[in-house]
Amino acid sequence: MICVSLSDLGQLDRAVAAGIELVELRLDLLREDPEKLYRHIPDHVRSIATCRPGNYTDDKRLALLSSCLSLGAAYVDVEIESQEDYLQALTGAAHSNNAGVIVSYHNFENTPDRNELEGVMLACYEKGGDVAKIATRVVVREDLVSLLGLYNFPGRKVIIGMGPEGKITRVAALYLGAEFTFASLEQGGETAPGQLSLNQLKNIYKAIDTP
């Protein structure tokens, strides 16, 4: 499944019109009230509620994400480095609303070695993640091997290589067992380095899957 990451309300409306099944709501970028957002999301469209640090206090982020969960979010994405009380509050809110928890690790500088990545993925589960998400910048080809090798381990996961050299991981993810892969709705609307657009991914999959 392709998850389209959204950063403004207009994108949300266009994604719904395009028949997208799963959207990531970047609340730190959308800057909209959750109740307003969910009025634009039909019941058949699932959502991931995400609010990265920086634009809001942790208390405000907790309130926004908890509101999304009460409004029907399918997942909440919580950063692995979050304070324990913050993480536990969101984990509890997610499970009380029958939603899943994604515990995510981001490294925008490089990709740690294989042993460290394995430890990070294990920590995502230990901190309450139903899904482990690991996103690191790919610098050398060996980084791709380290990242994609994580699919050999049990557990629900999404493994992403960021930057131009990591694009192949976004394509390969669905063939290797990822819960989903991320795309922007259109070129120019990327929310992470190296993110492909929805049309780019669809065309690639069509070419691969055509006999």
Segments making up each domain of the chain, as ranges:
2-209
What pLDDT was estimated at residue 60? 96
Single out the catalytic residue among 60, 95, 106, 206: 106
Interstrand relation of 46-50 and 75-79 (parallel, antiparallel or unpaired):
parallel
pLDDT of residue 83: 95
Apex CA 82: angle with CA 76 and CA 157, to 5°?
50
Instruction: Quote the pLDDT of residue 187.
Output: 86
Q: What is the strand order of the sheet 46-50 is part of?
A: 156-162, 131-137, 100-107, 75-79, 46-50, 22-26, 2-6, 181-184
* pLDDT at position 62: 97
Q: Count, in order, helices (H) and strands (E) of the chain.
A: 9, 8
pTM comes to 0.95
What pLDDT was estimated at residue 164?
94
Of the residues 133, 157, 167, 202, only one is catalytic, namely 133
For residue 167, indicate whether it is catalytic. Answer: no
> Is residue 133 annotated as a catalytic residue, yes or no?
yes
pLDDT of residue 180: 97
With left for phi above 0 and alpha for psi between -120 and 50, is residue 54 left, alpha or beta? left
CATH 3.20.20.70 fits 2-209, yes or no: yes
Tell me the mean pLDDT per 10 residues along the chain, length 211: 94 93 96 95 96 94 97 98 96 97 97 96 97 97 96 97 96 97 90 92 94 83
Q: Which residues, 6+ apart, have CB-to-CB distance to 92 below 8 Å?
A: none
